[in-house]
Amino acid sequence: SLRGEPLNLRALIRQPLVFPETLPLLPALEQFRNARTHFAFVVDEFGSVEGIVTLSDVMETIAGNLPNEVEEIDARHDIQKNPDGSWTANGHMPLEDLVQYVPLPLDEKREYHTIAGLLMEYLQRIPQTGEEVQVGDYLLKTLQVESHRVQKVQLIPLHNGEPDPEM
């Protein structure tokens, strides 16, 4: 700690808030208020965790999308063209938005929706920084992976199956 005293983690630990999946919104909001926390586990009738719900999820369901000063620019839609003709994009960019810039062949029955999901489908695992995958006429290279999340990807156009020699 800052005062030179040992940090007592036990004093900070609290039981998590747990909601049944059938709990209506207003009682959930009341439980959030009483527990003074911002997230809860959601469990099914057998006690299995179905997911996590946040106070923000509940509020947005009641009041609609709430503005967030951090979300001024949605980073998922961050894409830029590089001088060499390649593109650098956020790994969380939806594929429906990406194809407006880069014509990739997409399977209509796919179960992934982002560039990161596309890479994981092709590799059948979480990509590592520097890994490359050919998709159609493009080479997708992971530039940045943090905490198992693909953050940045470079999309390099291929000519006759090879990277452009001018790059």
**12 near 37, Cβ under 8 Å?**
no
pLDDT digits (tens, 9 = 90+) for 24-43: 999 999 999 999 899 999 99
Q: What is the pTM of this model?
A: 0.54
Domains defined along the chain, listed by start = 9-63 (3.10.580.10), 75-163 (3.30.465.10)
- The residue assigned the tokens 């997409």 is 106
Cα gap 17→160, rounded to integer Å: 56
* Strand 39-43 relative to strand 49-54, pairing: antiparallel
pLDDT digits (tens, 9 = 90+) for 64-115: 766 555 544 565 578 999 999 999 999 999 998 899 899 888 888 888 889 9
Helices 55-63 & 25-35 angle (0-180, nearest 10): 140
**Quick one: tokens of 125?**
């695992």
Q: What pLDDT, on a 0 to 100 scale, did the predictor assign at position 75? A: 59
Residue 150 has pLDDT above 80, yes or no: yes
**124 near 147, Cβ under 8 Å?**
no
Mean of per-residue pLDDT scores for the chain: 86
